[in-house]
Chains A and B, each alone.
Chain A
Amino acid sequence: MAQKHVLVTMNHAPYGSIYYTEGLRAVVGVTSGIDEHTVDVLYLGDGAYYALKGVDRRDSLKYLGTLEKLGARLKVERESLQRLQLSESELAEDIEVISRDQALDLIRRADVTIDF
């Protein structure tokens, strides 16, 4: 199997389920192994709540540390923020805000998408 580019979308709000942290664990898994797959992480819909700077990240910190070393940035869709009435000033510094058009570009570039 050759190297692939994988888009992982995170659609669940943090807490109340394990999706938000299991998704990040899967992202790390995707990047592991001999094929060295590359990955984008995109927060959509209620998943955008994870982008808030006050979110307790203790249970996902080790995954985020690995992703940072790999140079994979977390992205959140601006339209999702707007729907949730979240302002960009409320977001953690390591989150990159992108437009829906840019989100579509991520889909086009991806060989595979996985949702959590």
Chain B
Amino acid sequence: MTEKPKFVYVTYIAAAPEKVWEALTKPDISERYWFGYRVAADGKPGDLMTATSPAGTLSHRDPIIESDPPRRLVYGWKPLLEDHPDERPSRVTFELRPFKGQTRLTVIHDEFDEGSKIFGMISKGWPAVLSSLKTFLETGRPLDPSWKDAIQSCAAEAGA
């Protein structure tokens, strides 16, 4: 049996879960560290998660599946941008656990079909986004957005 692609990433952040939750759900904050993307995900289950690219293009319009602030957030994932292949929606789960005033953040991205091209793209993207989130919450500054170029060249090398 071939296992379906599943991406798991864990990062530890010196910030309270409430702060991490805010950064994941409020567009005014996400825009600072998520390479200029405005990600709004502070609704209830059944509401929509939306993301807008720095150029103002709608890049996501996906259902929020679970929302239990500041512990667990689950939403669908179907990129609308033209340079992304047309695949069925996948699923993103964020789990936040407090410890000593810090947060362990686990991101699980699954429900991909075998051979998914988007899986290759998100596997490169999440470490950059979550590294930038951690830096932003710990230092007040995001990571240099020119990394996006580096990620894209890295994805091109991998044929993703």
Q: Do A and B bind?
A: no
